[in-house]
Chains A and B, each alone.
Chain A
């Protein structure tokens, strides 16, 4: 199951107007990977995520899902590809006028014709998985930041996506909850075979759950390391080793 290329990124350049955020990104995410995107603040991790999931057209290069070029595909193909993605935004991006249950139910109702009783079962289960059982009727404004994050994850997982793209899941979470979330991510990969692309700064997470990674450098505006995070820590360029050891190495 592992080892087949799932997402291929070819010579990707992302820019806002004339400002090039990152250029020449080349990497492959295999099925069943937990792929970590690393880099300092503002290096372009969120921008990369937006290019991957079809929110922001890259200035150049391509993103291929199982060999299909996303940005040059027909609208219907794009929609089908998007159905396979689950996305957790950096700020949670919950719909503020819907309750948590409705937030999780919306993608299910949108993409499947399941009867309400089953939709409710799925919603209850997904909220329970992220530790939010009993909060079904709460509105996002009634939750803490960390709870919003987890509710966002429940929504992203609603349809059992093949690929889960997560932007900074553990920012705003206490260490124990963050660890539980890591365990959940690993379990999703191990049990359901979900491929996970995760943007994170959490060193413990990077080193314990990641099995592949890239490091985006904000000086040179390109990737300067790729591969297993443990390897990057041992043999990567000095910036990456510093990043992965909180500046402790020389």
Chain B
């Protein structure tokens, strides 16, 4: 154990039994396998009242020595033993004195350490219920901001709106295309199996058109944009929170909601419905493809059947859902971003939580709207 390490530690009793001399010799450097101060615990006890160091044979040292000595000094202080460090090299004495200088006042009212499992469940529950009013508060602020926009008093930079529109719209097209196509395909196959039983293959067109336009296009687009853009919103605003950028807006009397949340909200409320339309179109294309290849339906037949099935109302249902989902995604993303803590970890947490919140709210909204539209007979 002490082969490469040439440190040497000897404990010598002095002439009077109350004094212990700790002799440190040869090399004491941090990269060595030095002893921990704990090894001397049982020697620093009655009858010892004084500890002295002897470093006359010390050849080489760094904070390896210092940490050892400071550990000993701390233990001595706890036990009321006086320490005389005059036997140490002068530089070591000065550094030890610096380390022993009075530390500053601790912050008051700091969080306690880790909690037990029950306390954690309790805290999580409380936080959940505390979260609801916060969410409502944010909803209120956003609504006020939208009202300011309508009355022309909200301020944000048009460039931000355009940037977001570009980010949400054109850049999302590839992923929306792929997913809508595949979902359209799945829907058509699913229907094909059932409709073949009753010889009503042509109604695949109705199924795909109505399914995509009314429900699925908006839902799929919502899910994609929540993962893609909702998370990005939370990360952007969260990072701004970490850099105190949001505080800086506030001190200037600029509403961070108007300036940051509003453009994102508008961009999504505009672009998600448009993407929904696009997604429905791609889905119907996939349906056509399935119908052509497995049932030999004519393109024209499929086209007229689709037109017959679709009404403006259907589009209205789909578009309104797209707009609501867009608003939800922007809301959840910005809410989590604004609530973000001041660390890198908190930003990651905000992004995750934005997606989860958006998904949850989208599902709830989808159910409510489906039921309401059904009751209204739309």
Contact = CB atoms under 8 A, between A and B. Distances in A.
Contact of A141 (B36, B63, B342): B342
A235 to B, nearest CB: 33
B99 A125 contact: yes
Interface string B105-135: 0110010010000000000000000000000
A191 B104 contact: no
Contacts of A187: 91, 94-95, 98
B67 A121 contact: yes
B37 A112 contact: no
A159 B29 CA distance: 10
Interface in B19-46: 29-31, 33-34, 36-38
Most buried by B among A112, A115, A121, A134: A121
B71 A121 contact: yes
B10 interface: no
Given A141-B343, A142-B110, A122 B30 contact: yes
Nearest to A95: B344
Contacts of B64: 160
Chain A interface extent, by class? 35 or more
A2 to B, nearest CB: 15
Given A141-B342, A183-B98, A190-B91, A131 B71 contact: no
B344 A97 contact: yes
Given A122-B63, A160-B63, 8 more contacts: A96-B344, A117-B38, A125-B66, A128-B99, A129-B98, A131-B104, A187-B94, A191-B89
B138 interface: no
- 6 A-B pairs with the lowest CB-CB distances in the bound complex, closest first: A191-B91, A96-B343, A128-B99, A133-B103, A141-B342, A97-B345
A184 to B, nearest CB: 6
B63 A192 contact: yes
Contact of A138 (B63, B95, B99, B107): B107
B95 A129 contact: yes
A95 B343 CA distance: 9
Given A125-B63, A137-B113, A160-B62, A117 B36 contact: yes
Interface residues of B, number: 36
A112 B63 CA distance: 14
Nearest to A135: B106
A126 to B, nearest CB: 7
A122 B71 CA distance: 9
B182 interface: no
B113 A160 contact: no
Contacts of B106: 134-135
B67 A112 contact: no
Interface string A219-240: 0000000000000000000000
Contacts of A139: 343
B365 interface: no
B68 interface: yes
Contacts of A124: 67, 70-71
A114 B36 CA distance: 10
A246 interface: no
Given A115-B36, A122-B30, A97 B66 contact: no
A32 interface: no
B36 A112 contact: no
Interface in B42-98: 62-64, 66-68, 70-71, 89, 91-92, 94-95, 98
A64 interface: no
B103 A118 contact: no
Contact of A121 (B29, B36, B62): B36
A140 interface: yes
B169 interface: no
A132 interface: yes
A128 B63 CA distance: 12
Contacts of B107: 138, 142
A135 B104 CA distance: 9
Contact of B92 (A96, A135, A191): A191
A12 B173 CA distance: 47
Interface string B340-359: 01111100000000000000
Contacts of B67: 118, 121-122, 124-125
B309 interface: no
A192 B91 contact: yes
B158 interface: no
Nearest to A118: B36
A102 B114 CA distance: 16
